[in-house]
Amino acid sequence: MKQFLSFVRKEFYHITRDTLTLVIMLILPVILLLILGFAVSTELKNTSFVVLDESKSTLSRKLVEKLNGNAYFTLESYAHTAKDVDKAFRRGECKLALIFPSQFANDVVHTGNSSIQIIVDASDPNEASTLVNYMQLAIMQFQREQNVNMTPRFIDTEVKMLYNPQMVSAYNFVPGLIGMIMMLICAMMTSVSIVRENETGTMEILLVSPLRPVTIILSKAAPYLVISILNVISILVLSYFVLDVPVAGSLVLIMSLSIVFTFSALALGLLISSITKTQQTAMLASTVGLMLPSMLLSGLIFPIESMPAILRVISFIIPARWFIEALRDVMIKGLGLESIWMQFSILLLMTFILLAASIKKFKNRL
């Protein structure tokens, strides 16, 4: 029994000696519970929509107010022309647009029947279908309220799917897959690179060499950068020729965006590698700190708009969110740099900050 207890004490000593591993083991269940409890939801809320009201009638205003008061929709703005609606979609200001024809109110009053056009961003087919169902149900409820003690009136809806009229799920899946693969290759693999040098004893050779820390950091990142670029090219080729996913935007812009995101993922991996002591801890930290947030809080699986405010704020510091959002806009929507300049700039800024932090932390370890 004494031998057993002594081995137990020894094992506890090894666990508590690595503070980062102990913190991850204790905090991980809490983080997973909070993230999965709040983020894992197929319900869509606070979806922005714009309105083009050519009828300018009391009935149309009542319907818009009804929708805006709904928990599922938030009125972004009124558009003056169809071009304004298109610009709102291109700038990412809305997921839905409601178009009232000029004869909307007259048709409802005189014929008892009119129609509204619903335009939806279908780059994510599942989200688009859900949003259309929510909108149609809200319109039907408004219609029933208006029909109380009145002649029955019917409002039909005409749905137009933008960017993905065939509702092909691969259109949404492929950009997210590129982000996840690059995060897996870059961040998780590089997270063990410096730790591996320490564990194998080869770090001493690097320390006595004339190489500067920045040279060592960049030399660690270079092979994974080349591999990641090859992966992006192969995924794009397979997506276009096998999955029939269009590449509507500029290939140069797609590759530039991918390279910037790759550098940010590499810098994250190298930073983790610099602050951990073992390969096991580095892999665990990269999984908890990178892969799980990238999957759950990037908008790849669950809509960010429906998450609590604290999770939406956390998603701002996740590079995968900005990359996947920008890549969808370029690949599927065919947008240019003028539409994704904010995401591109944020990724670029993150890359410089993370690389600087990695180099600084590596110097401290010297």
309 and 246 together in one domain: yes
Could you tell me the pLDDT band of residue 364, with boundaries at 50, 70 and 90?
very low
Comparing 13-22, 113-122, 282-291, the range with the smallest average pLDDT is 13-22
Confidence of residue 118 (pLDDT cuts 50, 70, 90): very high
Q: Using an 8 Å Cβ cutoff, are 116 and 160 in contact?
A: no
How far is C-alpha 112 from the chain's CA centre?
Answer: 43
Please indicate, yes or no, whether residues 158 and 173 belong to a single structural domain of this protein. no
pLDDT of residue 37: 61
Q: Please indicate whether residue 22 or residue 359 has the higher confidence score (pLDDT).
A: 359
283 and 325 part of one domain: yes
Q: Which residues are within 8 A (CB) of 62 and not within 5 positions of it... i.e. 6 or more apart?
A: 142, 146
Residues 140 and 198 reside in one and the same domain: no
Confidence of residue 97 (pLDDT cuts 50, 70, 90): very high
Q: Quote the pTM value.
A: 0.78
73 within some domain? yes
How large a percentage of the chain has pLDDT more than 70?
77
Identify the H or E element spanning 119: strand 113-121
If asked whether residues 321 and 184 sit together in one domain, one would say yes
Top pLDDT among 1 and 78 is at 78
Q: Does residue 203 sit in the same domain as residue 238?
A: yes
CA distance 85 to 95: 11
Segments forming the whole domain that contains residue 56: 47-162
Taking the C-alpha atoms of residue 145 and residue 330, their distance in angstroms, rounded to an integer, is 42
Are 245 and 198 members of one domain? yes
The alpha-helical segments, DSSP class H, found in the chain are: 2-17, 19-39, 58-68, 82-90, 104-110, 125-146, 170-182, 189-190, 193-200, 203-208, 213-241, 251-275, 279-286, 292-296, 309-315, 319-331, 337-365
Please check whether residue 188 lies inside any domain of the structure. Answer: yes
The Cβ of residue 146 has, within 10 Å, a number of other Cβ atoms equal to 17
> What integer is the mean pLDDT of 245-267?
87
Residue 93: what pLDDT? 85
158, 188: one domain: no
pLDDT of residue 236: 85
Determine contact, residues 76/94, Cβ cutoff 8 Å.
yes
Instruction: Single out the residue in 125, 145, 162 at which a domain terminates.
Output: 162
Q: For residues 202 and 340, what is the distance between their CA atoms, to the nearest angstrom?
A: 43
Over residues 142-154, the pLDDT tens digits come to 888 776 555 556 7
CA dihedral 148, 149, 154, 159 (to 10 degrees): -20
Nearest to 123, CA basis, from 160, 172, 52, 69: 172
**Between these two residues, 35 and 359, which has the higher pLDDT value?**
359
Residue 16 tokens, joined: 């508590």
Burial of 152 from C-beta contacts in 10 A (0-12 / 13-18 / 19+): exposed
Q: Is residue 3 included in any domain, yes or no?
A: no
CA-wise closest residue to 293 among 52, 36, 86, 17:
36
Is 19 domain-assigned?
no
Q: Look up residue 67 and give its amino acid.
A: L
Count: domains in the chain:
2
